[in-house]
Amino acid sequence: MYKNLTIITFLGAVSIILGAFGAHALKESLTPEALKSFETAVRYQMYHVIVLLLVNFTDHISLNLKNKLTLIFISGIALFSGSIYLIYLLGVPVSSIWFVTPLGGFILIIGWILLFYEFLKKSMKK
């Protein structure tokens, strides 16, 4: 569990750092549309960090499922937000990684569906 929490809290700190960097350093170098995309990446990263903290601290989910959800959401963050960071921070051409961002979003959706399914099963037992 602490391995998960270590990674999750690191991702939380990175989202704050990148958010501040975007708000200050990138404000002058990115177009408003590009800055909006960058902010979306930071926001989605933080949303999923918060979800992962809740998932890992609840007693209503097995350790196995916590680990699966952590892997799924971290993978989604890496692909979704990471691909946007690569485009706007390192100048990686969109044409070379265009498929990575929606794939990351799809993986995030899978995590949410898995979480939904777990709670649905539990609600039907009671």
Domain around 65: 2-125
Q: Give the amino acid at 102.
A: P
Identify the segments of the chain with pLDDT beneath 50. none
Q: Which residues contact 122 (CB under 8 A, 6 or more apart)?
A: 60
At 37 the pLDDT is 96
- pLDDT at residue 1, as a whole number: 73
Q: What is the pLDDT of residue 125?
A: 87
Give the torsion through C-alpha atoms of 24, 28, 33, 34, to 10 deg.
-80
11-22 per-position pLDDT tens digit: 999 999 999 999
Q: How many CA atoms lie within 13 A of 119 on its CB side?
A: 8
Split into its structural domains, the chain has a count of: 1
pTM given for the model: 0.94
